[in-house]
Amino acid sequence: MFDFNIVRKASSDYPKPADFHPSYGTAGFRSKATLLSSTVFRCGLLAASRAILLNSHTGLMITASHNPVDDNGVKMVDPNGGMMPQSFEAVATELANCEDDDAVVAVLRDRVFSPMSSGSPRSAAGGALTVLIGHDTRPSAPSLLAAALAGVRALAVHAHSYGCVTTPQLHFLVHSANQIPAAPLPQLQSYFDVIVGAFLELTKGGELEAAGAGSNSSLLVVDCANGVGAEQLGKLVPALESLGVEMQLRNTGRGGGQLNYQCGADFVQKDRLLPTEMNDVPVGSRCCSVDGDADRLVYFSPLKGGGISLLDGDKVAMLAAVYIRDVMELLPAELLHDIQVCCVQTAYANGAATAYLQNILRLPTVCTPTGVKYLHEAAHNADLGIYFESNGHGTVLFSKTFVERLKAMEDHPAAKELLLLSQLINQTVGDAISGILLIEFILRRKRWTLQDWQALYTDLPSRQLKLQVADRSSITTADAERVCITPAGIQDAITRVISGFTHGRAFVRPSGTEDAVRVYAEAEIQEQADELARLVARIVYDMAGGVGPRP
């Protein structure tokens, strides 16, 4: 049996702040860093518990992704490299909200461990059970790492810190750690060996060296959001240089820039502005932005007179879908028998992207609620599932069945190419580094410029707004967040407003990562999208108890 007295004593060093009520959401727990020590300690307990219950290594990532630098957060990684099951989120929330040490022990004993599973920590595939931990570049990371380590060790489970790594790298390493019985924990280099190795194999022979025509066609300028991506992306520079691609890193954190402040994928995607430190980049250059923990990616090009031409997650999904469709058309028909392909989107996907998928590519589409956990699960239901949220978070998942069929016909060039693609693309979670390599490969394979890519379809103008209300939980939704259920009558009011706009579409939803309500609107021209978003925001403000100035 466990010595819960050790847990109780360790817990006493990490009391929960009064009036703090964390909730495990789309991105795990996330709040002001000063409030999170108890939450992260308890997540250490929970990650250790799941390692024991599953007899496997698990993971913890300490990050708040695209949030401001004063925030932080923590998310749990299961042995397959994926996210903790949604069915366990309520237990995580209950544990995080325990008011005292006795309650922490009670939840662990009664809600996490059953009498059949209680006992001493076992070995994972022949080696010691370990919780793998990573964190981003936030100043609060060291103290929260200490809390996580204390939580893991309170249950006599080993903990291993990889230090400052990207979220996708930590997911990859947890998955790798559970693949080979009794093997040592994987080194970070193994991530690059697999992903960059596949990229180099795909581009072997130099036939892909020429990108699309135009000035600066070999230059890729990367906005690193002053986050952890800068150091990890720097390791790619030699590999890309060998193929004639110059990767120039900006907002690396070394120039005093603040994490995610006026830079990063979230800023670029929502504000449609050049990141700081990039005003000198020539018009038409190939640029991209990652976010603070490098799991999101958008491309863009500076425009004459200011502004950018944005290629967001929708455009990344379409680029991947076009390329994969072209390769799959070269496969023998027997290999594709009963193989299901789909593209997963959320309500945030631009209406023009959905129309392109359905009318031009003729690929099945699925719409899920916002949040990678929903998209990832839906993509896993297909043999080849493509998903990228418009914010740039996504990946392409290959089923075991499809991979085995490809391996059986590995001598076929198209089958070999798709196999290498399944290694190039991080199969555990959305990954900005993997995404950059994917996009650079496809653009060079097709000899496309960003303008060629942009021309696949024209986005409908859109606008996103964020506003505070007295209680964001008063906003509830259905139909993958496309319909607002409460407050009563709010959807009817929104529908009436939408009817006055050509190609109008709008929805509202409570944020999964911030204490706010988000508004999204589309229309035929930008001015109409702006006005529709403003009118819908006013409805939310009036009917859900808005806080601050009325939109």
Helices and strands counted in the chain (H then E): 19, 21
Helix (H) / strand (E) containing 106: helix 101-107
d(CA 64, CA 72) in angstroms, rounded, equals 4
Residue 389 assigned to a binding site: yes
Half-sphere exposure of residue 79, counting CA atoms within 13 Å on the CB side? 17
d(CA 328, CA 335) in angstroms, rounded, equals 10
Residue 518 assigned to a binding site: yes
d(CA 49, CA 35) in angstroms, rounded, equals 23
Q: How long a stretch of residues is the chain?
A: 551
Residues 6 or more apart whose CB falls under 8 angstroms from that of 344 comprise 365, 366, 367, 368, 375, 378, 379, 385, 386, 387
Contact of 302 with 272, CB cutoff 8 Å: no
Residue 513 assigned to a binding site: yes
Residue 509 assigned to a binding site: yes
Helix, strand, coil percentages in the chain from 3-state DSSP, rounded to 5 = 40, 20, 40
Residue 391 assigned to a binding site: yes
344: β partners: 366, 387
Residues 6 or more apart whose CB falls under 8 angstroms from that of 477 comprise 369, 483, 484, 485, 507, 508, 509, 510
Residue 510 assigned to a binding site: yes
Residue 295 assigned to a binding site: yes
Q: Is 117 a catalytic residue?
A: no
Q: What would the DSSP string read from start to end of 212-242? A: SSSTTTTEEEEE-TTSTHHHHHHTTHHHHHT
Q: How many CB atoms lie within 10 A of CB 110?
A: 9
366: β partners: 344
Catalytic residue among 11, 38, 65, 140: 65
d(CA 35, CA 43) in angstroms, rounded, equals 14
Residue 31 assigned to a binding site: no
Instruction: Please name which of 229, 191, 413 lies closest in space to residue 199, comparing C-alpha atoms.
Output: 191
Spacing of C-alpha 426 from chain mean position:
11
Residues 6 or more apart whose CB falls under 8 angstroms from that of 357 comprise 318, 321, 343, 345, 363, 365
d(CA 145, CA 152) in angstroms, rounded, equals 11
Amino acid at the residue 103: A
Tokens linked to 489:
């009558």
Contact of 452 with 444, CB cutoff 8 Å: no
Residue 381 assigned to a binding site: no
Tokens linked to 195:
């992903």
Q: Which residues participate in the annotated binding site for Mg(2+)?
A: 65, 291, 293, 295
Show binding-site residues.
65, 291, 293, 295, 389-391, 509-513, 518
- The catalytic site residues sit at 65
Known binding-site residue numbers for substrate: 389-391, 509-513, 518
